[in-house]
Amino acid sequence: MFAPFRIWPLAGVLLATSLFAAEPGSSIGYVMKVQGEASVIRDGATVPATIGTPLYVGSTVKTGPAGSMGVTLEDNTVMSFGPNSELTLDEFIFDPAQDDLKLSAKITHGTLDYISGTIAKLKPQAVEINTPTGTIGVRGTHFLVKVD
């Protein structure tokens, strides 16, 4: 006898697991706070940052001289940027069920206040923030970096 009610819990688990993996072209996070001049650049197009603006692998977030912005990624990583900041999200893979985790970003100038999300908690060596002079290996923490 076919029992469809036994399949639904398994379907729910499979669906929830698949939602964590970032499909090509799917958003990896969102702008959560904006003050002053701030923008998101994707595929060469610059759009003003507003609350809810999606972020993708390859997106660059940028703030102006009096701007600030806060973003949250799908793994609950929180990044806040001060004036004259620019950061590119180079890689983001979040599939905990397959132990496939990676976050790589590059800040070229400005300030970044970083609070670790799930990727850094599950696999600290999978997170790196690159600067013009070195790489910050994140080990499940909170830090502030300034790049002139």
Instruction: Quote the tokens at residue 39.
Output: 């923008």
pLDDT at 99: 92
CB 86 within 8 A of CB 108: yes
Region 58-80: what's the mean pLDDT?
A: 98
| Banded model confidence at residue 140, pLDDT cuts 50, 70, 90 | low
Q: Would 8 be classed as within a structural domain?
A: no
Q: Would 49 be classed as within a structural domain?
A: yes
pLDDT of 15-47, one tens digit each? 343 344 445 579 999 999 999 999 999 999 999
Q: Would 14 be classed as within a structural domain?
A: no
Asked whether the whole model's pTM tops 0.95, one would answer no
Q: Would 75 be classed as within a structural domain?
A: yes
DSSP per residue, 113-147 = EEE--HHHHH-GGGEEEEETTEEEE--S-EEEEEE
Measure the CA–CA gap between 99 and 148, rounded to whole angstroms.
36
Q: Would 126 be classed as within a structural domain?
A: yes
Which range of residues forms the domain containing residue 50?
27-145
pLDDT at 25: 75
E strand or H helix at 14 = helix 4-20
